[in-house]
Amino acid sequence: MGTLWVNGKIYTMNKEHEQARAMYVEHGRILKMGEEGHLRRTYAGRIKQIVNLEGKSVYPAFTDSHIHLIGYGEALDRIDATETTDLQALLESMKQKGGNDDWIVAEGFNDRLLGEMPTREMIDAVIPDRPVVLKRVCRHVAVVNSKGLERLGLIHHTVIEGGKLGRDADGKLNGVLYDAALDLLHKELGGNREKNVASLHRAIDSLFAHGIVNAHTEDLFYHGDPLETIQAYEDVLADLPFHAHLLVHEQVVDTLIRHDALAKRPRFDFGAMKLFVDGSFGGRTALLSEPYTDDPAQRGIEVHRPDHLEALVKKARSYGMNVAAHVIGDAAAEQFITLLEKYPAKRGTRDRIIHASLLNDALLKRIQALPVLIDAQPIFLSDDMNLLFDRLGNDRVDDAYRFKSMLDTGALVLGGSDAPISTVDVRKGLYAAVTRQSFEESGALNPPERLSMYEALRSFTYAPRVATGTHGRDGLLIQSYNATFTVWEEDFFDLRGRDILDNRLVMTVVDGAPVYEADVVNT
């Protein structure tokens, strides 16, 4: 017995514009698509339920191809500083909230909104007695108070390879931590199995409510013992119909290999070894070939010395693993591409270039010759439009977020959010990819790099499934595939500009069963 879904615009995403008006689902699989009358006759004795979609639009359910799933769940339970314009008010709210955790944490502040970068002295003036951390929106920069510096064991003479400690005019530590300096913070704030289970539940509930049923995530270094983190995934995904693909941070890969912990589970598996080459545009730590326009003394940070970076790539190859590297700046991209050329991926596999935020024509041409996927975040373009012009200037900014050129290289281009750095709202990723405008509808940045709506939707549906080898049953809505889809009030293909952001999710369905419903659907 099954369900007949009728009166919809059901996009297969197998070919552009290909759609059906009805589909019959049994045991979680699509048995047939076509016209309602034909399906009624074909399955007359087996139809248990008929769902009237009332003209709504249906797409394969989404994958967020770059998220920190546990970190996102943690952020949902912490003070949200993303829209904060008043540092004093933020600190007072943190002081009032307190909480049971040792540290008081606020997520996602933006110094551009605050008008200045916070310092330890500013935090000390309000909260002097407990360790406090403010995480910048990029999560490559954080600010701690004096208690926090003390807890982390940071003193005047501390030097951190691949990171930086901010200093005031007198050379004293001002509490600002950059890139690898945050590793100390991750260890201090690391969770445990119980906390990680709670965070995963919060995150997945939120993702279902955004039409997301699958995630490529990187959590195994930041939240305590990586073996316990895996146990948390086992606990949660034993009961929830959600799938995860976990990248393996280079600092825990030896431990997990030694414990033979990377075997595939029913609802999650493990992917490439993850490493960082540079930082972020926001913190001016993305590695550029030329200095920052708004700070000519800075070119960014190398998280690893070139010889160490090369050793990490060789380590991944020795384990038979692909490599996934965070690269924002063009100099970082050049370093990583050079290593992929020197140490090629195993035949039939793909390495992962994460972000690839600044690519000139020469770099794109070299990517064309490599078996790679590009893990892109279209939402960053709309979030950071004004910042991009400040950091890169008019001469370089057109090389930022070249989504169409990425596709033209033949690379598999995936869409993601990097939550909690940005919102998991896929509508915003689609808007950014097809308009290349800020959310205030500024002029479009390099319009020829726009994606079509079909290309943008594929980057959140089918392409991520190809990346993990699950495209034989998910990512499309065609006969014999899993009935895993989303129902939307309006048709994304008919929407333009900010109307994309106003489309409303009605339902998320996994294997034929709803996991999120905004409305009661007529049956």
Position 239 scores a pLDDT of 93
- SS3 call for 306: helix
Tell me, yes or no, whether 119 and 87 share the same domain: yes
- SS3 call for 194: helix
Looking from the CA of 275 toward its CB, the CA atoms found within 13 Å total 29
Tell me, yes or no, whether 121 and 184 share the same domain: yes
Number of domains in the chain: 2
Domain boundary among the residues 129, 163, 189 is at 189
Residues in the chain, pLDDT under 50:
none
Domain boundary among the residues 189, 224, 245 is at 189
Tell me, yes or no, whether 99 and 181 share the same domain: yes
At residue 379, φ and ψ (nearest 5 deg) are -60, -25
Q: Answer whether residue 324 is part of any domain.
A: no
Position 100 scores a pLDDT of 58
Domain boundary among the residues 173, 189, 205 is at 189
Its domain, for residue 43, covers 2-60+477-517
Q: What is the pTM of this model?
A: 0.93
Q: Which residues lie across from 11 on neighbouring strands? A: 19
Q: Pick from 426, 514, 508: which is nearest to 208 by CA?
A: 508
Q: Residue 31: which CATH number?
A: 2.30.40.10
Q: Residue 154: which CATH number?
A: 3.10.310.70
Position 160 scores a pLDDT of 84
pLDDT tens digits along 472-519? 899 999 999 999 999 999 999 999 999 999 999 999 999 999 999 997
Tell me, yes or no, whether 78 and 33 share the same domain: no
Q: Answer whether residue 498 is part of any domain.
A: yes
Position 156 scores a pLDDT of 81
Amino acid at position 250, single letter: E
Tell me, yes or no, whether 105 and 8 share the same domain: no
pLDDT tens digits along 150-208? 999 998 888 888 888 999 988 899 999 998 888 888 888 888 999 999 999 999 999 99
* List of residues 6+ apart from 144 with CB closer than 8 A: 120, 123, 131, 132, 133, 134, 152, 175, 177, 185
Position 180 scores a pLDDT of 86
- Contact in structure between 456 and 415 (CB atoms under 8 Å): yes
Q: Answer whether residue 471 is part of any domain.
A: no
Tell me, yes or no, whether 12 and 112 share the same domain: no
Tell me, yes or no, whether 125 and 168 share the same domain: yes
| Dihedral angle computed from the Cα positions of residues 3, 11, 403 and 349, in that order, rounded to the nearest 10 degrees | 60
